[in-house]
Amino acid sequence: MVLKIDFREILRIFNERLRIDQSIIDLANKYGYLPYMISRYIDMLGFDETIRLLEAFDNKNMYKPVIRCNDLRCSCRKITESLERLGFKLSPIEWSPYSYKILRSSSTPSIGATHEYLKGCYYLYRDAASLIPSIALDPRPGDLILDTCASPGGKASHILMLMRDEGLLIANDISRSRLSALKANLERMRFTSYIITRYDGRRIHEIFNEEIPKIILDAPCSAEGGIMFDPGRKRRTSYEDLMKLVSREIELLSSSVEALAPGGYLLYSTCSIAPEENEFVVSKILEHYKEKIEIIHIRNNIWDRGLRKFLGIEFDPGVEKCIRIWPHRHSMEGFFICLLRKR
DSSP-derived secondary structure for 209-251? SS-EEEEEEE-----GGGTTT-TTHHHH--HHHHHHHHHHHHH
Peptide bond into 152 cis (omega under 30): yes
Q: Is the pLDDT of residue 323 over 90?
A: yes
Active site residue 271: yes
Q: What is the mean pLDDT of residues 177-188?
A: 96
The verdict on residue 165 lying in a domain is: yes
Confidence of residue 199 (pLDDT cuts 50, 70, 90): very high
Q: What is the mean pLDDT of residues 333-342?
A: 98
- pLDDT at residue 301, rounded to an integer: 84
Q: Are residues 208 and 327 in the same domain?
A: yes
- pLDDT at residue 322, rounded to an integer: 97
Give yes or no for a contact between 204 and 148, defined as CB atoms under 8 angstroms apart. yes
pTM of the predicted model as reported, rounded to 2 decimal places? 0.97
Tell me the pLDDT of the chain averaged across its residues.
Answer: 97
Convert 96-133 to b/e letters by CB count within 10 Å (16 or more is b).
bebbbbbeebbeeeebeebebbeebbbbbbebbbbbbb
Active-site residue identified among 149, 221, 271, 322: 271
| Per-residue CA distances from 159 to 41, 56, 57 (Å) | 33, 30, 29
Q: Are residues 84 and 195 in the same domain?
A: no
Q: Is the pLDDT of residue 245 over 90?
A: yes
Q: Name which of 134, 132, 126, 129 is nearest 67 in CA terms.
A: 126
The verdict on residue 36 lying in a domain is: no
* 247-262 confidence digits (pLDDT tens): 999 999 999 999 999 9
- The upper half-sphere exposure of residue 155, i.e. CA atoms within 13 Å in the direction of its Cβ, equals 31
Q: Are residues 332 and 197 in the same domain?
A: yes
Q: Are residues 214 and 337 in the same domain?
A: yes
* 272-307 confidence digits (pLDDT tens): 999 999 999 999 999 999 989 999 999 888 999 999
Confidence of residue 4 (pLDDT cuts 50, 70, 90): very high
- CA 145/CA 261 separation, integer angstroms: 11
Q: Are residues 140 and 76 in the same domain?
A: no
- pLDDT at residue 13, rounded to an integer: 95
What CATH number does residue 96 fall under?
A: 3.30.70.1170
Convert 25-38 to b/e letters by CB count within 10 Å (16 or more is b).
eebbeebebbbbbb
Confidence of residue 107 (pLDDT cuts 50, 70, 90): confident
How many residues in the chain?
343
The verdict on residue 134 lying in a domain is: yes
Other CB atoms within 10 Å distance of the CB of residue 213: 16
Can you give the residue range of the structural domain that contains 78? 64-125
- pLDDT at residue 330, rounded to an integer: 97
- pLDDT at residue 89, rounded to an integer: 97
Q: Helix or strand or coil: residue 62?
A: helix
Which amino acid, residue 151?
A: S
φ, ψ at 211 (rounded to 5°): -115, -20
The verdict on residue 39 lying in a domain is: no
* 300-322 confidence digits (pLDDT tens): 889 999 999 999 999 999 999 99
What CATH number does residue 174 fall under?
A: 3.40.50.150
- pLDDT at residue 99, rounded to an integer: 98
Total domains, the chain: 2
